[in-house]
Chains A and B, each alone.
Chain A
Amino acid sequence: MAKVPVQFTLNGSEKAEFVDSGTTLLHALRDKIGDTSPKGGCHQGSCGACSVIIDGELRLSCLTLAETCDGAVISTTSGLSDSGVLHPLQRAFLDTFATQCGFCTPGMIMAAKVLLDHTPNPSRDEVVEALSGNICRCTGYEPIIQAVLTVARSNSQNAA
């Protein structure tokens, strides 16, 4: 099958790859580019483990074809830390024990990041809604919600 060229910006860096037509973005990121932070869970759009941010919107990389992302700006969890300093969401997930097996964590963090990018001080209901497409089988969700609210409160205090 003919390869198709794909170029996009991933976590601030220009990436260019040749992929098989029909390759999912998840496959391209993990197996071609080497960013293994998005996880392949259900491949059905049900679990949210593969969530990434494409042009400012949360998307499921398992259901997105890589060639439809040509020219896009993509963010994944692996691009969040800055020179070894964790992003506030990553720090909060650790501090509130919101991570157990860790498989859902990258998707949860990207879903939370989109929320906080648009709504820096969300209500608890808004946090629950924002995470409603992401499944966690370990934590019971409460520590994850608390992690996001912790960052939100910090945002609020910094803005005051």
Chain B
Amino acid sequence: MALALQTFATVKDANAALKAAGTRYLGGGTLVVRAANEGDVSVSGLIRSTEPSLSTIAVAGGKVRIGASVTMAAIARHPDLGTLAKTARAVGGPAIRNMATVGGNLFAPAPYGDFAVALLALDATVSTDDGETPIETFLAKRDGSRAIVTSVGFTLPPQGGFRFLKVSRVKPKGVSVLSIATVLQQAPDGTVSSARIALGCMADRPVRASAAEKALLGRMLTADGIAPALAAASDGTSPITDPIASAWYRNEVLPVHLGRLLLA
């Protein structure tokens, strides 16, 4: 492998270096070094920044900001991020979790990127030196993104408001057949007053199940209540086909797993 690694103390300097053709940003290495090992000749140089803010987690007043270089393992063990611990532990095995970063997960192609599915459900914002971008917009345009992600931010949902499910064939850890994250709010009468549902593997990147979200509004979380949402779960999706599962299979099982998650 003939890759030149350049390390910069600041994100600003790293961003400037990243303008050179053929350069990629190095986070934990689980995507870009893997690509280089696989023979991706489009990668000729690696850039990284050691700016301390990239590795910090700040939780205050229900608001969370996670630096882009924070690893899945650091999230899983953080005392104030218990809500996301299960999601972080769903990423890879222990060694991968010690390396894989939040920033990298935003760029992970399906069937990877389970943590980004959770961030999409949480309506996170993605920060770069150019400002903040809603995660849905960021994910849609990520292929053309050149600015280094510095952090993600979101509001912690109320207790029990966030749910996450990763479906894989290999236990305890395997690549996703699909993953689902939901953030639901219920009115005093128990009906759903707001819903965000994010799906992994149902496109080449995390997407929202917008039709299912609308179908849940005003409904109770019962088998009958969620039936319209399950019927609409696959609307607008374009699942990947890979050695884990075909697009047809993913579409077939999505309503089953979404139903289990909503009724859990």
Check A64/B36 contact, CB under 8 A, given A1-B2, A21-B5: no
Does any Cβ of B come within 8 Å of A129's Cβ? yes
Supply 16 further A-B pairs (C-beta < 8 A) apart from A1-B2, A132-B93.
Answer: A21-B3, A24-B1, A44-B34, A45-B95, A45-B99, A58-B94, A62-B33, A63-B34, A65-B29, A65-B46, A68-B29, A129-B94, A130-B94, A133-B92, A133-B173, A134-B93
Contact size range, B: 20 to 34
For chain A, residues 51 to 69, give those with C-beta under 8 angstroms from any C-beta of chain B. Answer: 51, 57-60, 62-65, 67-68
Asked whether, in the complex, the Cβ of B98 is within 8 Å of the Cβ of A59, the reply is yes
Asked whether, in the complex, the Cβ of A24 is within 8 Å of the Cβ of B94, the reply is no
Asked whether, in the complex, the Cβ of B94 is within 8 Å of the Cβ of A63, the reply is no
What is the CA–CA distance of A20 and B2 in the complex, to the nearest angstrom? 7
Bitwise interface map of A from 1 to 32 toward B, beta carbon under 8 Å scored 1, else 0 = 11010000000000000001111100100000
Which positions in B face A, CB cutoff 8 Å?
A: 1-5, 7, 26, 28-30, 33-34, 36-38, 46, 48, 73, 92-96, 98-99, 172-173
Check A23/B4 contact, CB under 8 A, given A59-B98, A60-B96, A132-B172: no
Q: Return the contact of B94 from the options A20, A44, A68, A111 (Cβ within 8 A).
A: A111
| Min C-beta distance of A154 to chain B, whole Å | 22
Contacts of A22 in B (CB 8 A): 1-5, 36, 46
Q: Lowest 5 A-B CB distances belong to which pairs?
A: A133-B93, A22-B3, A132-B173, A43-B37, A63-B29
Contact size range, A: 20 to 34
For chain A, residues 92 to 136, give those with C-beta under 8 angstroms from any C-beta of chain B. Answer: 111, 114, 128-134
Contacts of A62 in B (CB 8 A): 33, 37
What is the CA–CA distance of A20 and B46 in the complex, to the nearest angstrom? 13
Q: Return the contact of B99 from the options A60, A67, A131 (Cβ within 8 A).
A: A60
Contacts of A131 in B (CB 8 A): 93
Asked whether, in the complex, the Cβ of A45 is within 8 Å of the Cβ of B30, the reply is yes
Check A57/B2 contact, CB under 8 A, given A44-B34, A65-B26, A133-B93: no
Contacts of B37 in A (CB 8 A): 24, 43-44, 62-63
